């Protein structure tokens, strides 16, 4: 079992839903992003999604695009992102880390080298937005062989013909994108998301967590109540852009986590 599998088993035993927090590695700089990462578990975060900065993020709205640009300007790289995870593992060997990004930096780094180093640095799962199931031989299957979960996105446009292909080699959990569009573009609505989560859960035993468009503690609770967990990214990342301190961001994260855990 990976840390992700263990975390969901623990949450299920406690009758709790998962709260997943996304942060961009290196935003606004390496020191502050690491400080925030280290404090997330104490703020109620069950799984950390660590964003890998990339120059051309097709699935991300302006908030996360700008965060990636700030991180790249500060000199953030894939290697530094892995080193950030490795440093975190010195103080926390329990909280799962999912690296979320795009394939180009991984391909440039070298897939075999990347998987070896990612495993060594304590990465538990990968979400690679631009690798469809048809490209599973590129990274998905090698990642699973290395003991790293490969987490797939399902969206409102993933119909019943496409869904089995999406689920085929997915592990850890399924990430349901609650809206049609980019991150941070609209608010997720439980009455729209509920039937889709139920449809996915009828086809897999994996947990289904919902992300995109979750911005408030109330929204976090509402979405978590009809899924296995909620993911918040843009609303957290935006706090750094607005000049909030790590203390202020942690208080906000705690309120979101409390919402999800109350579902």
Structure-derived torsion over alpha carbons of residues 31, 257, 49, 212, reported in degrees to the nearest 10: -120
* pLDDT computed for residue 253 by the predictor: 98
> DSSP state, 151?
P
Residue pLDDT, tens place only, 185-222: 456 666 789 999 999 999 999 999 999 889 999 999 99
Catalytic residue set: 49, 60
Taking the whole predicted model, whether its pTM rises above 0.85 is answered as yes
Neighbours of 71 (CB within 10 A): 25
* pLDDT computed for residue 180 by the predictor: 60
Full strand arrangement of the beta sheet holding 229-232: 149-150, 125-128, 97-101, 47-51, 18-24, 229-232, 208-211, 174-177, 153-154
Percent pLDDT > 70 in the chain is 95
Residue pLDDT, tens place only, 37-61: 999 999 999 999 999 999 887 767 7
End-to-end CA gap in the chain? 26
d(CA 173, CA 123): 15
């Amino acid at each position: 079992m990976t840390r992700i599998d263990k975390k969901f088993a623990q949450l299920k035993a406690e009758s709790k839903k998962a709260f997943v927090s996304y942060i961009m590695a290196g935003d606004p700089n390496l020191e502050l992003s690491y400080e925030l990462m280290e404090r997330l578990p104490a703020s109620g975060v069950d799984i950390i999604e660590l964003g890998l900065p990339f120059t051309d993020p097709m699935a991300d709205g302006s908030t996360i695009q700008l965060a990636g640009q700030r991180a790249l300007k500060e000199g953030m790289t894939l290697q530094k992102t892995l080193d950030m995870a490795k440093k975190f593992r010195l103080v926390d060997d329990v909280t799962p880390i999912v690296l979320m990004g795009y394939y180009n930096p991984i391909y440039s780094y070298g897939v075999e080298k990347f998987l070896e180093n990612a495993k060594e640095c304590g990465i538990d799962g990968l979400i690679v937005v631009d690798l469809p199931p048809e490209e599973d031989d590129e990274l998905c299957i090698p990642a699973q062989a290395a003991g790293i979960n490969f987490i797939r996105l399902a969206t409102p446009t993933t119909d019943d013909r496409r869904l089995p292909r999406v689920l085929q080699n997915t592990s850890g959990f399924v990430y349901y994108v609650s809206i049609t569009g980019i991150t941070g573009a609209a608010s997720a609505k439980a009455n729209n998301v509920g039937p889709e989560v139920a449809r996915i859960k009828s086809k897999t035993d994996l947990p289904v967590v919902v992300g995109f468009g979750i911005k408030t503690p109330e929204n976090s609770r509402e979405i978590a109540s009809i899924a296995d967990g909620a993911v918040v990214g843009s609303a957290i990342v935006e706090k750094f852009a607005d000049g909030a301190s790590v203390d202020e961001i942690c208080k906000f994260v705690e309120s979101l986590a409390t919402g999800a855990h109350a579902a």
